[in-house]
Amino acid sequence: MASPSMAATNELADELDSNKNYSFALVSLTSLFFMWGFITCLNDILIPHLKNVFSLSYSQAMLIQFCFFGAYFLVSLPAGALIKKVGYQKGIVSGLVIASIGCALFYPAASLQSYPVFLGALFVLASGITLLQVSANPYVSILGDAKTAPSRLTLTQAFNSLGTTIAPYLGGLLILDAAADSMTAAQGAQAVQAPYLMLASALLILAAIFAYIKLPKLSQASSTETEKTKGTGSAWSHRHLVLGAVGIFVYVGAEVGIGSFLINFMGLESIAHLEESEAAHYLTYFWGGAMVGRFIGAAVMQKVSGGKVLFICASAASLLLIITMLTSGAVAMWSILLIGLCNSIMFPTIFSLAVTGLKEHTSQGSGILCLAIVGGAIIPLFQGFLADAVGVQLSFILPLVCFIFIAYYGIKGSIPQAIKA
């Protein structure tokens, strides 16, 4: 029999090994957050590009986001069930493969010059991203102490923002600049082929890497073992989860809606009158602000509660949107670009606050929250109808309403509370 000192030494060694495994896992997962941020942000380039190629209205162009984020609504719950059966790592590999197939489908879509085929390719691509979201977000949340989950998820989401910061510049260079030199609609459509084939290859390489490496196997309740409240019923019985789902719905809708209209907004004569390829470069400031804010937020939320930080950021975003709608020129342009900084911590903070205390229902809760990402399909589409009716600038009233709800969730709605039968 081992001595007490030997047992303590072995226990300490196991704990150190576990911490090392967690660190390696977090480093590995940052590549996923980077990739899906990069791919998602390319939609902001595709919208003005395909709008011109196929002569679309604003509402028709928003079908890009409708099909992309609509996949979250259809795939999230089945993805949550799949993860519960096969585990997080196999879910990640499956998501990468499906996303790669979606990227590859852009080649025939461009060859056929078919907008519906483009939308179908986006749906397949988004289905893979959804599976990645359902796998990676809760995995990061339970990969350590529950108290620091918002900070941990915010840190990994910062690398998601690194992808969204780089994507507008490269997308503008590889797609919009190439399309500007094109003589025909066919050549404009084909400008997307090479970039998306490169993405398909990168995703397949990542799938091979994640199939090979060994990630820690964690139970879904591991992050909440220290919670006093035992999970009962289902995830739907937790009020903060339900309100968190609404928060995710309106947050993603607001962020996607703003990002989708930025290039067209900066092209208005009353704002900056920029060419699309030039305006695309300014998107880097919007998404770069989100990246910087997430690094800052990860540090701040080690000391300040996630709910308070969420309230402050949502309130600031609301004020900036009001300024955007009531002013013109540089003031309006830079006020809306600054919203990226406020957006920074919102998604990971809402997500982490919403899954707190779910225990064995964490996987189900994650599926529900990813289901709510369908807000990115619904809200931009309605904003597109508003833009066609009253103009792009006034259409930002819809994201304003969204940020007001998020401020409420941060200060009150995120407090864990069971729904009474």
Quick one: CA torsion of 373, 374, 377, 378, rounded to 10 degrees?
-120
280 in any annotated domain: yes
Secondary structure tally for the chain: helices H, strands E: 20, 0
19 in any annotated domain: no
Token pair for 238: 């937790």
CATH code, domain carrying 336: 1.20.1250.20
CA atoms of 33 and 29, how far apart (whole Å) = 7
Q: Which residue has the higher pLDDT, 391 or 73?
A: 391
pLDDT attached to residue 4: 39
- Could you give phi then psi for residue 189, rounded to 5 degrees? -65, -40
Domain that holds residue 297: 29-213+232-413
Give pLDDT tens digits for 212-248.
887 776 555 444 443 444 445 688 888 889 999 999 9
pLDDT attached to residue 420: 62
Q: What mean pLDDT is predicted for residues 144-149?
A: 66
242 in any annotated domain: yes
319 in any annotated domain: yes
Alpha helical stretches, state H, 62-175: 63-86, 88-104, 106-112, 115-141, 149-171
23 in any annotated domain: no
Q: Which residue has the higher pLDDT, 39 or 184?
A: 39
pLDDT attached to residue 395: 97
Residue position matching structure tokens 């091979």: 208
CA atoms of 237 and 313, how far apart (whole Å) = 28
Instruction: Domain count for the chain, please give it.
Output: 1
With a cut of 60, say whether residue 400 has pLDDT above it.
yes
Please count the other Cβ atoms lying within 10 Å of the Cβ belonging to residue 274.
Answer: 17
pLDDT attached to residue 263: 93
Least confident window among 4-13, 14-23, 323-332, 399-408: 4-13
**What percentage of residues in the chain have a pLDDT greater than 70?**
85
C-alpha neighbours within 13 Å on the C-beta side of residue 391: 10
At residue 141 the predicted structure's pLDDT band, cuts being 50, 70 and 90, is low
158 in any annotated domain: yes
Angle formed by the axes of helices 43-53 and 63-86, nearest 10°? 140
Give pLDDT tens digits for 242-266.
999 999 999 999 999 999 999 999 9
At residue 145 the predicted structure's pLDDT band, cuts being 50, 70 and 90, is low
Answer whether 249's CB lies under 8 Å from 374's CB.
Answer: yes
Give pLDDT tens digits for 154-176.
677 778 778 888 888 888 888 87
Token pair for 421: 């039968």
Give pLDDT tens digits for 345-369.
898 899 889 988 887 777 788 778 8
354 in any annotated domain: yes
| Widest pairwise Cα distance in the chain | 81
Token pair for 292: 């910087």
16 in any annotated domain: no
Residue position matching structure tokens 């470069």: 281
